[in-house]
Amino acid sequence: MLIRKAKVADVPGICKLIEKYAKTGELLIRTHASICEDLLSFYVAVEDDEVIGVGSLYIYDESLSEIRSLAVSEGHMGKGVGKKISQKIVEDAEQLGIGRMISLTYQIEFFSKLGFQVIEKETIPQKVRKDCLGCPKFFACDETAMVINLN
Ligand SMILES: CC(C)(COP(=O)(O)OP(=O)(O)OC[C@H]1O[C@@H](n2cnc3c(N)ncnc32)[C@H](O)[C@@H]1OP(=O)(O)O)[C@@H](O)C(=O)NCCC(=O)NCCS
């Protein structure tokens, strides 16, 4: 298994993986076009030429970033793939000098193990403005906001 920056040839595999978890409400859907647009921010885990894991870095401003579109295919869960992709994304944000990274998630234990802590969503208005206002679950959001301070 190899973790590396995404290439254009990975886009269909990335789409497929994200779509699978978007259907169950665990991830926000990403279109083919939006993945291409943000491809430089994506990491993939690849095994036998197949995309088995994905994750991306989104930057709001110099003080705030987000780990997005993190997913590992069902057959490869529990082997450290999600952790390794997340660590790459955290490292990139640190190297860029960004102050904090957030995640909005159902995977509290996974992110706790990476050093993230639970916070109130009200403390991240940038995220609420970007994604939450147009979300059908806005008044009944059951995801947990988590943050890690970088550097
Ligand atoms: C969350 C997800 C990315 C984790 O990927 P993974 O490769 O299975 O996780 P890892 O094997 O790297 O796990 C790292 C650690 O977290 C723990 N962990 C992972 N998923 C967990 C879960 N659902 N509940 C409790 N602990 C979990 C592991 O046991 C491991 O602990 P350890 O370091 O003490 O051994 C994967 O389950 C997934 O794709 N889920 C569906 C999409 C999703 O929810 N993405 C997150 C959106 S914010």
DSSP H or E segment with residue 96: helix 81-96
Predicted confidence at residue 23, as pLDDT, reads 95
Ligand 1 atom closest to the Cα of residue 84 is 12
Work out the pLDDT band at 139, boundaries 50, 70, 90: confident
Mean pLDDT of the chain: 95
Q: What domains does the chain contain, in order, with CATH numbers?
A: 2-149 (3.40.630.30)
Predicted confidence at residue 138, as pLDDT, reads 82
Q: Is the CB of 21 under 6 A from ligand 1?
A: yes
Ligand 1 atom closest to the Cα of residue 111 is 16
The C-alpha atoms of residue 71 and residue 23 are separated, in whole angstroms, by 13
Provide the token pair at 137: 């679950």
**Measured in angstroms, how far is the CA atom of residue 74 from the centroid of ligand 1?**
11
Return the closest-CA partner of residue 11 out of 1, 37, 86.
37
Provide the token pair at 47: 């095994």
**Measured in angstroms, how far is the CA atom of residue 129 from the centroid of ligand 1?**
27
Asked which of 29-33, 36-40, 128-132 is least confident by mean pLDDT, the reply is: 128-132
pLDDT tens-place string over residues 86-130: 999 999 999 999 999 999 999 999 999 999 999 999 899 888 888
Q: Which of 107, 131, 143, 144 to mutate to test the pocket of ligand 1 (most atoms within 8 A of CB)?
A: 107
Distance of CA 90 to the CA centre of its chain: 11
